[in-house]
Amino acid sequence: MLFYGFQTLTPRMNTLTLRANAPLIRAPMLRRALISGARRVISQRDLLNKINVFPVPDGDTGSNMAFTLGSILTGALNRKVDSTGELLRRVSEQAIDGARGNSGAILAQFFTGISERIGNRQTASLEQMAQAIRHGALSARHALSEPKEGTILSVITVFAESLQTDVRGFHFKVWFESALMDARRALANTPNQLPVLMKAGVVDAGAQGFVDLLEGVYQFILEGEIDLQDEAENASADMEVSEAHLELMEGDPEHRWCSECLILGEGLDRSGLRADVANLGASCVVIAGSSSRVRLHAHVSNPKQLFDLAANYGRIESTKADDMQAQARTAAGAKSVVIITDTSADLPEELSRQYNIHWVPLRLSFGETDYLDKVGLSTQEFYHKLRTELVLPRTSQPSPGDFRRQFEFLLSHHPHLVYVGLSRAVSGTVQSAEAAAKRGHGERIHIFDTANAAGGHGLLVLAAAEAAQSGQSPEAIVALLERLRPVTETWACTADISHAVRGGRVPRWVVPIARLLGLTAIAKLSKEGKLVVNNGLFGKRNTIQRFARHVAQRIDRTRRYRVIIGHCDDLEAGQTLLREFTAQIECAEAWCVETGPAVGAHAGPGALVISLQPMGEKP
């Protein structure tokens, strides 16, 4: 899969133990060949997503492989290097760091195996490269706990074994071309090896992606140029796999989370890690990497358990967990607009499923340990830590990479997406989404700043999702949100302001006064999206009822409202507030949910939130 520069060896150069006059693979050409191959895969990602039915029909194989190779393109392949060994080392490390999904992790381990065998060689002969690619194929197979034939593994193996190691008389083009032809035949045979592929009428998506990589390299071999205009021809790729997607996804509900992390350290015990992950009952396990850098991928029911286990082996970075049930709904759907938000929005889970709303998790940390909000750490576990840990939790926005990966996946199934985000005034989350949109498809990505949080944020997400389901255009959805934003209100109260003091939002001297007067602080989100303390309740009697009355007296009670009541680890108080508040207003719909760390980290356990939105703006 690699290109070369011809070089005639003198006897003094025979220290490399290469045959005289043998073609050599040198770093500059190898780099350009890999760029061509990576770009070919990235251009085909939508097709790969559409044919993705194994191991899970979540429709994201193309996005995962594109993300994996994209990290190499912007890293190792973005800089010139003179040594073939050094180039492959950088490629393998950045592939491990950027690997996404089953196929991405396998591909990363394939590169790692090649790099291990080539070592620090300045150049490599065809024989040495063939041996290295065979080692890479074996390394990729060993990365899986349960290797399956009919997948990318089968095609990698066939390609590797087809490369001639006795290269006397071989021209490079012929050497590579014959192995590529065998890889194409192996790809065509994948439906005969996996019944699920035969049923869906497709080849394996990961295997197709690997052949696309080879085709891109081969194109460079033939033309000596990098094709910048190579676009996927999707007209013939609109395959009918929707029913297979949903049917297969329903077959493994216990492993809905496609989870990954990067483990860094020295002397990492991959065999011990594999045994411990097996004890979790995980499926689709891939452990790829070296003794100092390991990418762990597994399908699990509880991502936190997997990440906690991985932390026993080294430092954890780059955690992610994708809801494959939501991905399967998207892969099987045909809506022109899909809605995505972040986990600062409070919304009942059943509504999220009903309207196929996608989520990007915020990140939070206690000390040096990082978590994915509501995925790597449940809201209940967060409040337990908040009550018991001495260190103050910190919340942070998702990275642009988190958004980009989700955006790429969703846009491979929908013409447009609308991201409905947490208030810009309190978080950089919207800015991260905007940075991701600038990397591509900006005309298809529509970003809306709610200037709200918690239930108010959730109510705007719900309005957008209803409009999307009814067939509204992205422009019409954003216009609706613009009208609803100024009339969607969020109020909060807390009797314990110590968390706000620890976070620097309230002066420390206020605490003894508040305790002396029995003050329950009341805050409201301003028009700019900041939570501002503007009132309070004195005394500890009937605070829930008085808070409900306080808000009810300050809204237009001639209108009907949707209401979301949020509670910070106090369900009974939340349900009481729901009854008290809805009894005082004209309420069309109401829900009680647990408010997450975006508010809870600052308001503390026991805080209560009222969010409401007037009806009348129906899509």
Model pLDDT for residues 295-305, shown as the tens digit of each residue: 899 999 889 89
Model pLDDT for residues 457-484, shown as the tens digit of each residue: 999 999 999 999 999 999 999 999 999 9
Distance between CA atoms of residues 203 and 51, nearest Å: 7
Distance between CA atoms of residues 195 and 334, nearest Å: 26
| Residues 214 and 306 both lie in one domain | no
The one-letter amino acid code at 556 reads: D
82 phi and psi angles, rounded to 5 deg = -90, -20
| Residues 259 and 221 both lie in one domain | no
pLDDT of 336 above 90: no
Which of 295, 323, 351 terminates a domain? The answer is 323
Mean pLDDT of the chain: 83
| Residues 82 and 178 both lie in one domain | yes
Model pLDDT for residues 253-269, shown as the tens digit of each residue: 678 888 988 898 999 99
Q: Tell me which residue range forms the domain holding 147.
A: 11-225
Q: Which residues contact 382 (CB under 8 A, 6 or more apart)?
A: 364, 371, 373, 393, 596, 597, 600
| Residues 18 and 136 both lie in one domain | yes
Whole-model pTM: value is: 0.65
For residue 577, tell me if it sits in a domain.
Answer: yes
For residue 563, tell me if it sits in a domain.
Answer: yes
CATH number at residue 278: 3.30.70.120
Which of 308, 323, 338 terminates a domain? The answer is 323
Pairing of strands 369-372, 416-421: unpaired
Distance between CA atoms of residues 211 and 1, nearest Å: 10
| Residues 266 and 319 both lie in one domain | yes
Distance between CA atoms of residues 432 and 181, nearest Å: 43
| Residues 285 and 138 both lie in one domain | no
Which of 279, 307, 323 terminates a domain? The answer is 323
pLDDT of 399 above 50: yes
Q: Which conformational region is residue 558 in: left (phi greater than 0), alpha (psi within -120 to 50 degrees), or beta?
A: alpha
Q: Which residues contact 176 (CB under 8 A, 6 or more apart)?
A: 1, 2, 163, 217, 218, 221
| Residues 180 and 260 both lie in one domain | no
Helix (H) or strand (E) holding 339: strand 337-342
CATH number at residue 43: 1.25.40.340
pLDDT of 241 above 50: no
For residue 236, tell me if it sits in a domain.
Answer: no
For residue 571, tell me if it sits in a domain.
Answer: yes
Model pLDDT for residues 553-587, shown as the tens digit of each residue: 999 989 999 999 999 999 999 999 999 999 999 99
| Residues 192 and 52 both lie in one domain | yes
For residue 26, tell me if it sits in a domain.
Answer: yes
CA atoms within 13 A on the CB side of 331: 34
Distance between CA atoms of residues 524 and 379, nearest Å: 23
| Residues 598 and 501 both lie in one domain | yes
For residue 558, tell me if it sits in a domain.
Answer: yes
| Residues 220 and 264 both lie in one domain | no
Q: How many domains does the chain have?
A: 3
| Residues 144 and 203 both lie in one domain | yes
Distance between CA atoms of residues 481 and 467, nearest Å: 10
For residue 34, tell me if it sits in a domain.
Answer: yes
For residue 510, tell me if it sits in a domain.
Answer: yes
Distance between CA atoms of residues 104 and 96, nearest Å: 9
**What pLDDT score does 63 carry?**
82
Q: What's the rounded mean pLDDT across residues 304-319?
A: 89
How many CB atoms within 10 Å of residue 486? 9
Tokens of 77: 């392949």
Distance between CA atoms of residues 152 and 292, nearest Å: 25
Model pLDDT for residues 107-150, shown as the tens digit of each residue: 988 999 999 999 999 999 889 999 999 999 999 998 887 888 99
CATH number at residue 567: 3.30.1180.10
| Residues 65 and 152 both lie in one domain | yes
Distance between CA atoms of residues 358 and 433, nearest Å: 14
How many CB atoms within 10 Å of residue 130? 22
Q: Which conformational region is residue 150 in: left (phi greater than 0), alpha (psi within -120 to 50 degrees), or beta?
A: left
